[in-house]
Amino acid sequence: MFLFDIYNNILFYLKEFIVTTTSPNLFIHGMMAVFIIYLLTKRPFKPRQNDKLSKAEEEELIREWTPTPLTPKSNPLEVLNQKELVIQSSTSTHVTVDNKELLNLARANYLGFIGNDEINKVSEKTVRKYGVGSCGPRGFYGTIDVHLELEKRTAEFMKTPETVLYSSAYATISSAIPSFSKIGDIIIVDRGVSQPVQVGVTLSRSRIFYFNHNDMDDLQRVLEQTQFTGSKAKIVRKFVVIEGLYYNSGTIAPLPQILKFKEQYKFRLIMDESHSIGVLGSTGRGITEHYGVDVNSVDILTGSYGNAFGSGGGFCCGAPEVVYHQRLNGVGYVFSASLPPFLATSATTAITMLDEDNSILERLHENINHFYKGLSDLKGLEITSLPISPVIHLSLDSKSTRNNRIEDEMVLEKIVNKAMESGILLTRAKYVAAEKFIPKPSIRVSVNSLLSKEQINQSIQIIKQCTSSVL
Amino acid sequence: MTDEFQINRNQSWMHSKRFWVIYIVAIIACKVLFSVLVPTYEYDWLTITLLHAVITFFGFHWQKGIPFFQAGWSQGKYSRLTLWEQIDRGQQYTPTRKFFTIIPIILFMITLHSNGYKGIPFYINAIASFVIVLSKMPRMDRVRLFGINKY
């Protein structure tokens, strides 16, 4: 009965439609219906499979096309940074550029181990025995006895339980951070860290918080802000990332205060000691020795063999768990070919030499002190680094600065060029444009222990002359 | 053809059946809106047909290239093609094309039924629908009549 009702209804509306619709209307409706059926029955096809452009169209296209430049236009700073020197030969302290011997104050060779005879001999012997490269990553035929020896020697030197070796100093910190800190974890970073640390922090994909450079109140503020309680606190790992000696500013971290915070707020400390190992402390064991704190209170400590030890590669030391974790999770360790054997032996030799003969370090400290004192009455430039730092940053003071990065860099570049004419090689501190916090422009002087008093006095004199003539 | 593996996001959204349902519902919603807001207005279906024709004409057959996305991957391949010509990489009579062709025809039929076949309303309806359906025909693919909108 019900179905019949519906049928009647439909019939009624259909009848009404036909009755109210006039004949021309119905005709057009019918045409449209036929057209729709025609459309629906058509099968897909691709028109003009291989159609060629006509000559005129081709011409038109060619005329319209303007090529975009292959490389983006570089700004004045990039042009300035493109200047390259060709070094013809190099000794421990000097380099030859354009047949002119210059005193090298641009290279991080703090203990003067680059070009050391004994190390050269050891390297040569290793090259004759093992060849130049090791054949693969550490986990894949790349481990040689010299690597294990260096790891053992470094652990002994640093007085930590274990050490893991990386084949590049840059990759050390930038794979140590991401191997521990993952998505959802918290990283608190000093604003003054150098580029490898910034890369590592970015690669970790964690939540990143920054605190002002060496500002402990600000660190405390951030720590308070990231203090979680309850179930969330258990699963979120928190790391504070600092550098022992900040390469970008020549300052050192207030480690005792940070360790106090560590007890209070419960975080793990990652410290990059690339520039402080072999420099700070009475026996060159870095910032922990400088402050007289236990090395093992720093959870993850990375360093470089490239700066003080005159070799290459980096290391990360800490508790056995920290090290074993990196042997499977440190990207730079797992996926990169291992350190060339001769660099490993030269690093081992350098560590041994430093341990045996502490006078190199004392000379370095003296030289730094001497250089610092000599430069402290410099007019126009101010030293922004600390008197114990082997990296001396000279930046324009408030009177001579133009308050414009590019102009300041130009002025500093002029000083560098003048100094090169007078016989010393200086360099501006150059930064990657993508860095988040770029320090103010400066000349970066790297002091090493091989410089004699006369050389230091002479270079101070030259820097003073060049500065006064340019400013 | 490398093109086979690249999704042209400019047109990929048009194939979704959900979108078709939303499309039809939107047209019906317009009609309901007219009926509720201006019950005495007798040309509501005509207005909808005309608006639909104008909007889709400029959306499908006038605007060329990929206006809303980074199109570097296409290397300018689509910069001279309208959205209609980009659908299914130029394949004709595909389900998506059939759907978007039938919609204006049905709108034309509805308007014809409600506004008759005489007078200005019929001509507006007929011309708008004719233009919009003609532009969708395979014969009109990449054809610019009288060089209109050629570059």
Structure tokens that stand for A81 in this block: 């940074």
For chain B, the structural domain boundaries read 3-147
Q: What is the DSSP letter of A218?
A: H
* Angle at CA of residue B97, ends B94 and B100, nearest 5°: 150
At A219 the pLDDT is 92
Could you list the pLDDT tens digit for every one of the 471 residues in chain A? 677 888 888 888 777 766 666 677 788 888 889 999 998 998 888 776 666 778 888 888 888 888 888 888 888 888 888 888 888 988 888 899 888 898 988 888 888 888 889 999 999 999 999 998 888 898 888 898 999 999 999 999 999 999 999 999 899 999 999 999 888 889 999 998 999 999 999 999 888 999 999 899 999 999 998 887 777 667 788 999 999 999 988 899 999 999 999 999 889 999 999 998 888 888 888 899 999 999 989 999 999 998 888 888 999 999 999 999 999 988 889 999 999 999 999 999 999 999 888 888 899 899 999 988 888 888 888 888 888 889 999 888 888 788 888 888 888 888 888 888 888 898 888 888 878 888 888 899 999 888 889 989 988 888 888 888 887
Which is it for strands A424-425 and A100-104: parallel, antiparallel or unpaired?
A: parallel
Task: Name the residue with higher pLDDT: A233 or B94.
Answer: B94
CA distances, A114 to each of A86, A118, A188, A407, B37 (Å): 18, 10, 35, 35, 87
B25 to chain A, closest Cα gap in Å = 20
Instruction: Please state the ipTM of this predicted complex.
Output: 0.83
Element (H, E) at A119: helix A117-130
**What are the tens digits of pLDDT across the range B49-74?**
999 999 999 999 998 888 887 666 67
Kindly determine whether residue B91 and residue A29, on different chains, have CB atoms separated by under 8 Å: no
For chain A, the structural domain boundaries read 2-41, 76-104+358-470, 117-356
Hey, which bits of A203-313 come out as E strands? 207-211, 238-243, 268-272, 300-304
Residue type, A414: K
Q: Where are the alpha helices (DSSP H) in chain B?
A: 17-37, 44-56, 83-86, 95-115, 119-134
Helix axes A23-41, B95-115, angle to 10 degrees: 180
> A428-437 long-range contacts, Cβ below 8 Å, gap at least 24?
A429/A248, A429/A393, A430/A81, A431/A195, A431/A248, A432/A195, A433/A77, A433/A78, A435/A195, A435/A198, A436/A198, A437/A191, A437/A192, A437/A210
At A42 the pLDDT is 87
Which residue's structure tokens are 């060159």? A284
At B1 the pLDDT is 42
**What are the tens digits of pLDDT across the range A164-183?**
999 998 999 999 999 998 88
Residue type, A456: I
- Yes or no: domain A117-356 corresponds to CATH 3.40.640.10: yes
| Residue count (chain A) | 471
Q: Which of A28, A29, A42 sits opposite B93 (nearest CB)?
A: A42
- Rg (C-alpha) for chain A, rounded Å, is 34
Kindly determine whether residue B91 and residue A45, on different chains, have CB atoms separated by under 8 Å: yes
- What is the pLDDT of chain B when averaged over all its residues? 86
B2 — pLDDT class (breaks 50, 70, 90): very low
> For an interface test with A, which of B85, B117, B142 has the most A Cβ atoms less than 10 Å from its Cβ?
B117
Distance CA A383, CA B53 (A): 73
- Yes or no: domain A76-104+358-470 corresponds to CATH 3.90.1150.10: yes
Q: Which of A25, A35, A43 sits opposite B93 (nearest CB)?
A: A43
Residue of A nearest to B107 (CA): A32
Distance CA B75, CA A374 (A): 61
At B4 the pLDDT is 58
Q: What is the DSSP letter of A337?
A: B
At A385 the pLDDT is 87
Which of A352, A458, A354, A416 has its CA nearest to residue A110? A354
> Average pLDDT of B20-33?
94
Using a CB–CB cut-off of 8 Å, the residues of B that contact A are 88-94, 98, 101-102, 105-106, 108-109, 112-113, 116-117, 138, 141-142
Q: Where are the alpha helices (DSSP H) in A310-452?
A: 320-329, 331-334, 341-356, 359-375, 405-422
Q: Is the pLDDT of residue B9 over 60?
A: yes
Element (H, E) at B71: none
A79 neighbors A57 (Cβ within 8 angstroms): no
**What are the tens digits of pLDDT across the range B126-150?**
999 999 999 998 888 888 888 787 7
Distance CA A162, CA A154 (A): 8
B97 to chain A, closest Cα gap in Å = 10
Helix axes A117-130, A341-356, angle to 10 degrees: 150
At A323 the pLDDT is 93
